[in-house]
Every structure is written in C-alpha cells, then in structure tokens.
Structure 1
C-alpha cells in the first residue's frame, strides 16, 4: 500500500526563546516491507544542524531554533510503500544487542500490578499465541481512553489508572513481555485510519522478539499486528528513545504546541 504522510508540529511561545535544540525522529527508513519513496523535513524558525543515526539506528535530525524565536514549525512529508507482513519485521540489526531489550527502564519497570498481569497471562500455545493473548489481556485491563495523555506515565502508573492511549498500551505490553522473557521494544510511527484522513497525533505500538521470526509488532490499542497501513519511524527501549520530538530550550517562555497530521492512501 502506498501511503502519503503530511505531519506538521507548530510551537508558539509567549516570549522570545534565546536558544533551543530538538532531536527530531520523524524520518522513516526503508527496510524489508517498507520502501520510503520520498521524504523531506522542513523547518520554519530554525534549521537542521546535523543528521545522524542513534544507537537504535533511528534517523535523527538535530534542529536548532533561530535566536529570539516565538514560533517554530517542523513539517514532515513523504510517500512510503508498505507491505503487509503480518507484523513480522525480521531479525535484530543495528548497533544494540538483543539482550538489551530485556532491560527495564523507568517507564517499563514491573511493579505489583504488572506482575499480577503476568501471573494471569496464558501459558499455553506458541509464542505468538501467548503474545497475542497478552495484547488482548492488556486492552481488557486498560481500555483505550484519551482522558489522559501524559508522556511520562510508567507502565505501573497506567495499570493503576486502568485506561490509556497507544503509548501507554505499548509500555504495559513491553514491560509484561520482558517479564515473560521476551525482548521487547517501543515503536513510533504512523497509521492510516480507515474512517478519516486528519488525525490528532502519530501512533505507537510495541514489538516483541520471537525465536525463528525476529521482531513481531503488536498494536495493543487496535488488537492487531501492524499491516500495510502502518509506517514504522523509530524504535527504542521506551517512548523516550523513540519520541518524535524531544529537546531543550533556555528561558522561561511558556509553550503551546499544535499538531496537524494526515495519512492517506495514494
């Protein structure tokens, strides 16, 4: 499926910003099952200082603010051809060893609620059967809800809240999968929705590493493995490794952010 993406992130500040620097992980890469035909990033109010690959082999653009800016806009656009491989991405590559994806982070540390979830997880069937059952179990315990959208909730916090968004589902799945012995990682990207073109935010899901298959994706929020409607952009141990935009700025200016996103079949 040939997907066209237009993604704008617009920041406004109530006072001039003397200095700002952002890491932008919004550039998908061609890989098995995904061909990036064209992609560009445009910045108004700043500039791309350097582009590089991080430890997870994500493409990163380092964007600096022009001094004294009160607005900055980052626009990503392009076309990606995606195959439906039933969520199978393949074996681990890049710079990070597979064992590292069993390590917990501040956002993916198992607590009492996660351990209870794992203790109730099905033990029969293949690895894929168990992981799909875990995905369904998480969605039942943590229904999808946009009532909260904080980016700093840990998996245990999400279980305590008993609702969450795609990012929260991914963190709970990653934490539980690691507790069951599977390497697992966070994925940020785009999803073409069947009922709309305009969206409020990009998407997130999780991947677990299964013997003889490699990485397999699980979109807990939608109860499926990613298909030809999904564009993978960045991966990491948790959201902080794969955040679309993260950075710092000097000064005390208040910030307001708005997002415009369109994903459609071309």
Structure 2
C-alpha cells in the first residue's frame, strides 16, 4: 500500500526562546518491503537543518535556530510504498551485532512480575518463533492498549503494573519480557495506518525480535499481530529514548506547551476517491471543477 503521513509537532513558549536545538528522528529508510517515495521536513522558523546518522543507523536531522521565537512547529509530510513481508525485516541498516539488543535499558527493565509473566507466557513453546507469538498474545491480552499522546515515557514495570498503556508502553513490556528470555529485541518507532482512525495523537511503536533462520521479525503488541504493510518503520533503539521522534533543548522560553497532530492515510484509496469525485462532478451539466490558486510554501528539503 502507499502510506501518506502528515506529522506536526508544535511548541508554544510563555516567553521568547533562544538557541533552539531539535534532534529529529523522523525520516524513514528504504528496506525490503518499504520504499520512500517522498519525504520532507518543514520547520516554521528560519534555521539550519543538517542530516546525520546515529549509532543504530537511524537518519537524524538536527534543526537549530538562534531565536528569539515564541513558537516553533516541525511539520513532516511524506509518502512511503509498503509491501507485505509477514513481519520479516530484510535489507535494513544493521550497524550493531545481535547480542547488543540483549542489553538492559532504562525503560525496558524486567521486574519480578514481568519475569514471572514472561516465563509463564512462553512456557511450553516449541521454538523461538513460538515463544515470541505466545509472548505477543500474552502482552496484548494482559496490558490494555489505550491510544493517546505519549507524554512522559513510562517504564515497562510501571505499564505492566497499571495493565494499561500507549503503544510505546506495550512495546517496553514486550522488550523487557523477551530480554529476560534471552531473546535479542529492539524498539521500533513509526506509524501505523488504521482505516478507522486516520487522525492520531502520536506515532506508533512496536518491536523487532531476532528469530533463527528468519532474521529480525516485527511484532505489534498493541494490536496483537505481526507487523504488516500498514506499518511504516522509521527508527529503532533499545527503547523509546533511542528512537524518540523529537527531542530538543532551548534557552529561556518559560513554560513550554507541546501539541502533536498526526494523520496517516492510504494514499491510493484517497486518490481513487478523488478521481471518483472528479468524474462525478464532470458529469453534472453546466458545472466544472473549481480552479484553485497556486500556493507557494518554503520547504526544507530532506535528502
């Protein structure tokens, strides 16, 4: 399918802020099953935008502006072609050895409750893939998925105790449990197209686990499924901190308010619907489609 994303992060400051720096992990890479057709980042203030890669192989853009600024918006617009791979990830940038993803990380520590849960959920599995599917079902059934703004990141232990969380919380629980079972597993940040909810309050998060003879395989504990062509993969890490879409710093500004708006659409379905509407309009005698004036926008192009 062809997934179209519009992701806007808006910061409002009580007082003008200076020396704004934003680390943007918002740009996907190509791999088998995912081809980036177009992607751009559009800051609303004048500044500098540079591209680099982090230790995980993620594309990172650094945006900086001197200010003073009372508000800053970072808008991302792009289209990505995806194909069904049944969750198997091939052709991805692999900069680190598999055992690295066994490391304990701040938001994915297995406490006693998660360790007991992992052993019970995966008990009796015939192989690694079976273990992971049992763990996937266990997390999905035990921790309620409650979509919404991510806010402050929650640890796996906190989310498991609450039995409720957003996508990143369920991912952290899965990661903590899988690492306790000595399975290399990593956090994935991206987007998920849902036909019932194109307007979303945040991106989505899931996991990838290493499976013998298959390689890395994606699992979405929030939906209880292996990842599909509705998932658009952007960044990876040990947990949320390594893959956070936007992180930054500033001087001054007082209290900061952040608002996030995300829209994820099936671009092909949109195009077909528009063609149908245009065809219907052209069949009406004496009427013609309105002509819109061109709109010119300044855009920071992303390579």
TM over 0.5: yes
> Within 5 A, what are the aligned runs for 1:163-242?
163-242=164-243
Match of 1:70 in 2: 70
Match of 1:151 in 2: 152
- Cα deviation, residue 162, structure 1: 1.6
Q: Structure 1: how far apart are the matches of 2:67 and 2:224?
A: 45
Q: What is the CA deviation profile of residues 18-46 of structure 1, one whole-angstrom value per residue up to 9, with x for unaligned ones?
A: 22211000001111110001111111124
Aligned residues: 266
Give unmatched runs, 5+ long, in structure 1: none
**Segment drifting more, 119-128 vs 132-141:** 119-128
- Cα deviation, residue 114, structure 1: 1.1
Q: What is the CA deviation profile of residues 213-251 of structure 1, one whole-angstrom value per residue up to 9, with x for unaligned ones?
A: 111111101011111111000000000000000121222
Q: Structure 2: how far apart are the matches of 1:36 and 1:99?
A: 29
Question: What secondary structure sits across from 1:18 in the alignment?
Answer: strand
Match of 1:246 in 2: 247
Aligned CA RMSD, in angstroms, stands at 1.7
Are 2:135 and 1:139 equivalent residues in the alignment?
A: no
Q: What is the CA deviation profile of residues 129-187 of structure 1, one whole-angstrom value per residue up to 9, with x for unaligned ones?
A: 22111011112221113588443321111112221111000001011111111100000
Summarize the Cα distance change of 1:133–1:4 in structure 2 as closer, same or farther, 3 Å threshold.
same
User: Which of structures 1 and 2 has the bigger CA Rg?
Assistant: 2
> Within 5 A, what are the aligned runs for 1:41-190?
41-90=41-90, 93-122=93-122, 123-146=124-147, 149-190=150-191
**Segment drifting more, 144-153 vs 32-41:** 144-153
Match of 1:39 in 2: 39
**Segment drifting more, 251-260 vs 146-155:** 146-155
Q: Structure 1: how far apart are the matches of 2:91 and 2:37?
A: 23
- Cα deviation, residue 256, structure 1: 1.0
Q: Is the 8 A contact 1:8 1:261 kept in 2?
A: yes
Give unmatched runs, 5+ long, in structure 2: 268-303
Question: What secondary structure sits across from 2:5 in the alignment?
Answer: strand
- Cα deviation, residue 252, structure 1: 5.3
Q: Structure 2: how far apart are the matches of 1:53 and 1:83?
A: 25
Q: Is the 8 A contact 1:91 1:213 kept in 2?
A: no
State the TM-score, normalized to the length of structure 1.
0.95
Q: Is the 8 A contact 2:110 2:157 kept in 1?
A: yes
